[in-house]
Structure 1
Amino acid sequence: MRSSSRRPGRPESPKPAGPPVEVVIETVGGEGDGVAAGPIYVPFTLPGERVRAVGGGERRELEAVLSASAERVAPPCPHFGVCGGCALQHWEHGAYLAWKVERLRTTLGLQRIESEILAPFAAKPGTRRRLALHARPGKRAEARLGYKGRKSWDLVDITVCPIADPRLEAALPALRRMAAPLFEHPKSAPTLHVTLTSEGIDVDITGVERKSGGLSADARMRLAEAAAEADFARVTMDGDVAYGARQPVVRLGPAAVALPPGAFLQAVPEAEAAMAAFAVAQVAGAERIADLYCGVGTFTFRLAQVAPVYAVDGHAPAIRALTSAISTAPGLKGVTAEARDLTRRPVLAVEFKKIDTVLFDPPRAGALEQTAELAASKVSKIVGVSCNPATFARDARVLIDAGFSLDRVLPVDQFLWSPHVELVGVFSR
């Protein structure tokens, strides 16, 4: 292993800046930056453009677009270019989507995988129901609130957010007021995880220093008063209820699920519905289904309209919420649920003896341990949902080597204007 004198954890020193250079952008890289020969990476540029870039090393900054692409469009957000949330608002939508699909195809190809790639689902502006907003001290009655800056820890205090549901955007002033009491300890760096539910806005706050005893009674009262004035449904701090007017509920297919604090939820309801509809269509005729990494039941209740479902997830509060919601969904074929860490204790091949179909929806790290057991099982069909094409491709290679084929893939652009792409893949033996 090559040694280095740089201390671990410290950022590398910036390369000495040279004179501006003119380059032609050849492609767009995996993080959304334009790539010229060298390579030289220049953000906010598009293939075919001639640009002037400044800085040193491989990573430069855009100074001017000298010859613009016909695919360049005006970004819809006034914070674009400073805010770190979006990287590709300057790209015409059709070309941007085609790039995401090609990225997915290339990632699968790295594992020697070919498959039919379907027309992508594309989220629209104004549809995100879930945001993570960073708060920093501001005035006594109002915190600063927004996203981290591009390649920076600085906060961009946002006034609008074109990706967010308009009801979340409208709540930004109230969220600033509610966050104002959170800075009694100098080490507090709160993040507000905001979710729009059928009962109103649900907020789970992390990052408030607790070693000193947490918030004072006065600060908690100010927070609760601001939440009540805004008519939020619930506010929790690391899972503990700080204000509660109504139990936040979301509908997942036929079920009404009471959300645990901080529960995972797909960011865009329409994307969730599209992925679920596609998955359900693929499992038609199944006799018994396992839903692994099921969360609060994103796919479980829809699958249970087809066949009995065995649902498993490592987050016990999510399993309790799923189990409680079964009674709200009449007509299900049956659901049994188990809280189980699928990394440390995956469902074994022998346990799939009476299961013919499996859906798995793991976190970004993928499901390597569980995939090995699926590969050794007699399961005939698998639907894989993934937020990380690289780990999906790695896991898919294990299944393919065991005799499965990846028949088709649905790309999902749920995180609009980001380099991020998700997918649903269908395997059969």
Structure 2
Amino acid sequence: MEAAIVEVAGEGDGVSDRGVYVPFTLPGERVRATGAGDRRELLEVLEASAERVTPPCPHFGVCGGCALQHWADAPYLAWKVERLRKTLALQHLETEILPPTAARPHTRRRLALHARPGGREVARLGYKARKSWSLVEISVCPIADPALEAALPALRRLAAPLFEHPKSAPTLHVTLTQTGIDVDISGVERKSGGLSADARMTLAERAAEADFARVTIDGEVAYLARHPSVRMGPAIVDLPAGGFLQATADAEAAMAAFAVEAARGATRIADLYCGAGTFTFRLAAIAPVHAADFTAPAIAALSRAVASAPGLHGITAEARDLVRRPVLAEELRKTDVALFDPPRAGAAEQTAELARSKVARVIGVSCNPATFARDARMLVDAGFRLEKVAPIDQFLWSPHIELISIFSR
């Protein structure tokens, strides 16, 4: 069929005037598509949009990692911001939306790479294909930091010994830190006893050859040359195995600067879903901070890092399930600023307690505008005003958008 594309939908596919979805298309284009039903595949662009650009990656269109490399920067970002505005409007929320912070190519410091059997010396390594479990082997990745891209051959060698069990389908969660590359491996079949001693020895030898900082298997150390460390504001944090880290340093810096500005003048701060301290240490330069997160290793890493940043106001930290046991309004009675940065499911239970509390300002961080809007509605209904939202395009060329915001009574 031929189709006239009128808009780009939420997952990045173009939508025709007949309601048919066609990936890798843009508004104003005429295209030829194939398939059946309301989801087709692009065969040919008959009339291209002026906003169409040449994708920078040779794997684009086959690899399932990026959806929007064919769109020029300005309209691509404008589309993301408009999607955010519409998501807020679904909860009848209106606010100032600041200009977006855009991730740059070659700045991603975290990758999840899937491995499949290759040979004794190297495995096949890459991302899943679009709408498939098949693997697309990659040779380059324009979102990745150059140090991670350069490590791909060594990562293929590292993955080769992981296939002793036929059901193993490893994923290498690779993080670039200040002290080197950290790799946490999941998906190795454990029912047969996990990796043999020989495979573990080979794994460690290849990690040493590549000068990786650490290799873990489901959090268990298989090789350690030095602790993978990152700077979070004034502190140096040794990351827990498989621990969370913002995908780009630029996005972390932008969000942290927003949070610090929003928290100025606070006398006591709560940092909820704090992780290993992305915001904690920066906020502790303003006032004492109580940090809470459901991940005990992250809290342990944060607590150890306090000694690396003398001169801050006090930091207390606790491992606490903020869904089953949120910090209560009564516990927040001396807190005047609270920050929450939950996973994609949002922070409904904790937000309910913030709504009941006397906290004067709330800083909301989110990787999911839909659950953020739900939680924001709860705060607004309790008497808060959503002052402004800053969009953060941390996942370049994907349909995802993140944000940081401020609420005040």
TM-score range relative to shorter protein: over 0.9
- Matching residue within 314, 321, 324 for 1:344: 324
- Matching residue within 16, 19, 37 for 1:36: 16
CA distance in 1, matches of 2:353, 2:271: 14
Determine the structure 1 residue equivalent to 2:392. Answer: 412
Secondary structure at the counterpart of residue 142 of structure 1 = coil
1:94 aligns with 2:74: yes
CA distance in 2, matches of 1:29, 1:375: 33
Determine the structure 1 residue equivalent to 2:161. Answer: 181
Alignment of 1:26-425 (within 5 A): 26-425=6-405
CA distance in 2, matches of 1:75, 1:344: 45
CA distance in 2, matches of 1:174, 1:67: 43
Give 1:23 shift. Answer: 1.1
Q: Partner letter of residue 35 of structure 2?
A: G
Secondary structure at the counterpart of residue 359 of structure 1 = strand
Give 1:334 shift. Answer: 1.1
Question: Following superposition, which runs of at least 4 residues in structure 1 exceed 6 angstroms of deviation?
Answer: none
CA distance in 2, matches of 1:284, 1:117: 21
CA distance in 2, matches of 1:155, 1:252: 35
Give 1:325 shift. Answer: 0.3
Q: Residue by residue, what CA displacement relative to the aligned partner does 1:300-336 show, whole Å, maximum 9, x if unpaired?
A: 0000001110000000110010000001011211100
CA distance in 2, matches of 1:307, 1:155: 49
Q: Residue by residue, what CA displacement relative to the aligned partner does 1:350-394 show, whole Å, maximum 9, x if unpaired?
A: 111000000000000000001111101101100000000000000
Give 1:140 shift. Answer: 1.3
CA distance in 2, matches of 1:158, 1:139: 17
Secondary structure at the counterpart of residue 379 of structure 1 = coil
CA distance in 1, matches of 2:83, 2:310: 41
Give 1:37 shift. Answer: 2.3
Q: Residue by residue, what CA displacement relative to the aligned partner does 1:194-237 show, whole Å, maximum 9, x if unpaired?
A: 00011100000000001110000111111111100000000000
CA distance in 2, matches of 1:110, 1:306: 35
Q: Residue by residue, what CA displacement relative to the aligned partner does 1:90-125 show, whole Å, maximum 9, x if unpaired?
A: 000011000000000000000000000000000100
Q: Residue by residue, what CA displacement relative to the aligned partner does 1:158-202 show, whole Å, maximum 9, x if unpaired?
A: 000000000000000000001000000011000000000111000
Secondary structure at the counterpart of residue 25 of structure 1 = strand
Secondary structure at the counterpart of residue 107 of structure 1 = helix
Give 1:58 shift. Answer: 0.6
CA distance in 1, matches of 2:153, 2:328: 50
CA distance in 2, matches of 1:60, 1:240: 44
Q: Percent identity?
A: 75
CA distance in 1, matches of 2:192, 2:168: 11
CA distance in 2, matches of 1:157, 1:139: 14
CA distance in 1, matches of 2:286, 2:79: 35
Aligned length: 409
CA distance in 2, matches of 1:145, 1:332: 44
CA distance in 1, matches of 2:14, 2:143: 23
Give 1:38 shift. Answer: 2.8
CA distance in 1, matches of 2:29, 2:286: 51
Secondary structure at the counterpart of residue 362 of structure 2 = strand
Q: Partner letter of residue 302 of structure 1?
A: R
Secondary structure at the counterpart of residue 117 of structure 2 = strand
CA distance in 2, matches of 1:373, 1:248: 35
CA distance in 2, matches of 1:83, 1:43: 13
Give 1:139 shift. Answer: 1.4
Give 1:406 shift. Answer: 0.5
- Where structure 2 has 5 or more consecutive residues not aligned to the other structure, the ranges are none
Give 1:404 shift. Answer: 0.5
